[in-house]
Amino acid sequence: MESLQVTRLMSCKLSANISHKACSFIPSRQLGFSSLSRRSFQNGKLTVARSDITENGGGFGGLDDSSNSNSIEEEDDDEEEEEKNGLMLGLDRDDCGSVIALHLIPPSGEVTIDSHQDEAADTKGEDEGIEEEKGGEEEIRSRVTYNIVFVTAEAAPYSKTGGLGDVCGSLPGVLAGCGHRVMVVSPRYLNGTSADKNFAGASDVDRHIKVPCFGGEQEVAFFHEYKKGVDWVFVDHPSFHRPGNLYGDSHGAFGDNQFRFTLLCHAACEAPLVLPLGGYTYGEKCLFLVNDWHAGLVPVLLASKYRPFGIYKDARSILVIHNLAHQGVEPAASFKNLGLPWEWYGALEWVFPTWARTHALDTGEAVNILKGAIVTADRILTVSKGYAWEITTVEGGHGLNELLSSRRIVLNGIVNGIDVTEWDSSSDEHISFHYSADDLSGKARCKTALQQELGLPIRPECPLIGFIGRLDYQKGIDLIRWAIPELMEDNVQFVILGSGDPLYEDWMRAAEKTYRDKFRGWVGFNVPISHRITAGCDILLMPSRFEPCGLNQLYAMRYGTVPVVHATGGLRDTVENFNPYAGDGSGEGTGWTFSPLTKESMLEALRTAIMTYRDHKSTWEALMRRGMQRDFTWETAAIHYEQVFEWACIDPPYIT
């Protein structure tokens, strides 16, 4: 720690409500008092006094009243009076409410600091040297940091099937870069394929625990890899070692998924307590970010198994809902296997409506793990503001809308970010030509290269429409199927990349034969091809029935491809509907949204986009540039996550 030039006694009273639960201050050497004290005062000593709101006797920034770095000297009566009327240390906050700086408050209450024009010449010379070295007066900053534990069924690049893996693979690293200590807990999947090498860098930490569940004690081990500032912790058990994908195989979902993810949740609760990562454990003051139903038992375990015995009293849990349609529902008889006290059955209790029961004698009784998480979590997040509202409605709530409405006060939505390094049209290794918002010439060449690769006639003037996604009901592929005959009557080309329902895979093959010069279907998924379609198409179509966030529309806008989307969830939040009359006639918006979800409204939006592409080139280029300039980085999303962390720590635990 650099020594502080002493000036005069300064009181430090923090009037803001900052919780010291599950959080700490960055060391005081990062606060930058040195140059400020030399500039603002002349003689005496600087004392950073303990905050009034500190409960445990700890001082501000790791200093306390007895710190050797800042001592209080006995002065005469006049100086004692000056100390009583000394400056106070106040807080500056950003728009989200996060503490970003400190300032000195004179006794008058003004938040200004005199320039001290009469400082000695030697002090002035010293200041000039500091400014030359640091490029100006050092900014005083304070940041609240947290011990964050992500619990997830997948995290890229180790394991991934969709957007959940992207979020839990990218956001932890960004939060670690903000100064937080971050751990990600997920299973160590081994399926005998090349994907197993993803875990090659993780080593056994020689910590085994026994999980009491499913009628016995299940032993699990932990593997660990420290990478990009994040502690990646992998729960190891034979149930995670089998052929297939993360959740099932060609025969469907694994029948023991409840068992597998119960182990994950128990292990995740123990990991901060027993794993000495970097030489010391995370401890009890943690923020658990539990993702979807797979991690949904974590807040229930905190409330039922730990807090009653004085453990994790200062921890908080935040449930992140990526897709409410998947809830982890199993027969009621399976509750006894979860390792929970019997009195907590009500938290997970679920009764199917009569119409959803299998037969007349079916009582419809079940346990719903996601419901238990909603009931016990301290705060709830979704991956967009629109989806946060939709899940409180009958149409989008999947039976949990009333429960979620009752917790609306702690329900927020934060749009996912994207990896702007991987998705960058100016440097993408998967595309043949690069371009940017300042120079769009490479975009047309990417289109020509894609038409050539797919065997389509090379026609730069013909609008090229793309669709990338699963071929299932949620993604609206049935609307595309119904609309293709009418759409193919226009002068357009269409390309689809995806796999899923065999019905639509066969339809794609048949449509390709019917419309040889206009339609191409690629059954399967291929990362390089997805990049080339995103770069080469003029329009990206996303008629999803519901879309919690959506990533393809974000990729498309970043690549200057104009999205046409159904106005739902994250699609409505991220795509601004085009308005040609706004902005003094220059237009506003980044694409088109349509509603209701019908073939007619979708075709109307598509035809408007096609007409704009053909007849208003300057307007179309402005649309492209606005989309490419939008900020969808994870750094922006992390700011909003930190705000939710602060809210979670200010409030007491929802269930104690």
Q: Model confidence over 546-575: pLDDT tens digits?
A: 999 999 999 999 999 999 999 999 999 999
**Block residue for tokens 């959940």:** 164
pLDDT at 424 over 70: yes
Q: Model confidence over 475-504: pLDDT tens digits?
A: 999 999 999 999 999 999 999 999 889 999
Q: How far apart (Å, rounded) are the C-alpha atoms in residues 135 and 132?
A: 5
Q: Which DSSP category does 323 fall into?
A: -
Q: Model confidence over 206-219: pLDDT tens digits?
A: 999 999 999 999 99
pLDDT at 34 over 60: no
Q: Model confidence over 151-170: pLDDT tens digits?
A: 999 999 999 988 899 999 99
Residue 457: the pLDDT is 96
Q: How far apart (Å, rounded) are the C-alpha atoms in residues 428 and 422?
A: 7
- Candidate from 51-60, 171-180, 356-365, 527-536 with smallest mean pLDDT: 51-60
Residue 133: the pLDDT is 46
pLDDT at 140 over 50: no
| 440-631 carries CATH number 3.40.50.2000 | yes
In what helix (H) or strand (E) does residue 386 lie, and over which residues does it extend? helix 385-390
For residue 142, name the pLDDT band (cuts at 50, 70, 90): low
Phi and psi at residue 262, to the nearest 5°: -65, -45
Residue 120: the pLDDT is 41
For residue 83, name the pLDDT band (cuts at 50, 70, 90): very low
- Per residue, the 3-state secondary structure of 326-379, as one string, reads CCCEEEHHHHHHCCCCHHHHHHHEEECCHHHCCCCCCCCEEEEHHHHHHHHCCE
- Candidate from 158-167, 410-419, 508-517 with smallest mean pLDDT: 158-167
Q: Model confidence over 426-444: pLDDT tens digits?
A: 999 999 999 999 999 999 9
Q: Exposed, middle or buried, 599 (CB in 10 Å: 0-12/13-18/19+)?
A: middle
Residue 464: the pLDDT is 98
| Buried/exposed code over 7-31 (b: 16+ C-beta within 10 A; e: otherwise) | bbbbbbebeeebbbbbbbbeebeeb
Question: Which one has a higher pLDDT value, 143 or 204?
Answer: 204
E strands of 95-240, at which residues? Answer: 99-105, 144-151, 181-187, 203-213, 216-227, 230-236
In what helix (H) or strand (E) does residue 520 lie, and over which residues does it extend? strand 519-523
Residue 339: the pLDDT is 95
The two tokens of residue 560 are 């200057």
For residue 35, name the pLDDT band (cuts at 50, 70, 90): very low
Average pLDDT, the chain: 84
| Buried/exposed code over 543-552 (b: 16+ C-beta within 10 A; e: otherwise) | bbbbbbbbbb
Residue 86: the pLDDT is 53
Residue 529: the pLDDT is 95
> Is the separation of the CB atoms in 230 and 184 below 8 Å?
yes
* Per-range mean pLDDT, top range of 240-254, 261-275, 581-595: 261-275
Q: How far apart (Å, rounded) are the C-alpha atoms in residues 396 and 400?
A: 9
The two tokens of residue 230 are 């994040």
pLDDT at 316 over 90: yes
Residue 109: the pLDDT is 44
The CATH number of the domain covering residues in 149-417+640-650: 3.40.50.2000
For residue 356, name the pLDDT band (cuts at 50, 70, 90): confident
Question: According to CATH, where is 3.40.50.2000 located in the chain?
Answer: 149-417+640-650, 440-631
Q: What is the dihedral of CA 493, 497, 500, 504, to 10 degrees?
A: 10
pLDDT at 13 over 60: no
Report if pTM > 0.85. no
pLDDT at 201 over 70: yes
Phi and psi at residue 190, to the nearest 5°: -130, 120
Q: How far apart (Å, rounded) are the C-alpha atoms in residues 299 and 376?
A: 6
Q: How far apart (Å, rounded) are the C-alpha atoms in residues 620 and 626?
A: 10
Cβ count near 233 (within 10 Å): 26
Residue 585: the pLDDT is 66
> Is the separation of the CB atoms in 27 and 61 below 8 Å?
yes
- Candidate from 114-118, 366-370, 559-563 with smallest mean pLDDT: 114-118
Q: How far apart (Å, rounded) are the C-alpha atoms in residues 241 and 52?
A: 53
Q: How far apart (Å, rounded) are the C-alpha atoms in residues 656 and 308?
A: 7
Residue 353: the pLDDT is 87
Residue 526: the pLDDT is 87
For the chain, the straight-line distance linking the first and the last C-alpha, in angstroms and rounded, comes to 39
Q: Model confidence over 600-631: pLDDT tens digits?
A: 999 999 999 999 999 999 999 999 999 999 99
Side chain identity, residue 551 = L
For residue 72, name the pLDDT band (cuts at 50, 70, 90): very low
**Block residue for tokens 């903000």:** 178
pLDDT at 341 over 60: yes
pLDDT at 175 over 50: yes
Give the three-class secondary structure for 80: helix
Q: How far apart (Å, rounded) are the C-alpha atoms in residues 250 and 244?
A: 7
Q: What is the DSSP string of 90-136?
A: EEEE-TTS-EEEEEEE-TT--------TT--HHHHHHHHHHHHHHTS
* Nearest in space to 537 (alpha carbons), one of 609, 601, 635: 609
Of all residues in the chain, the percent with pLDDT exceeding 90 is 71
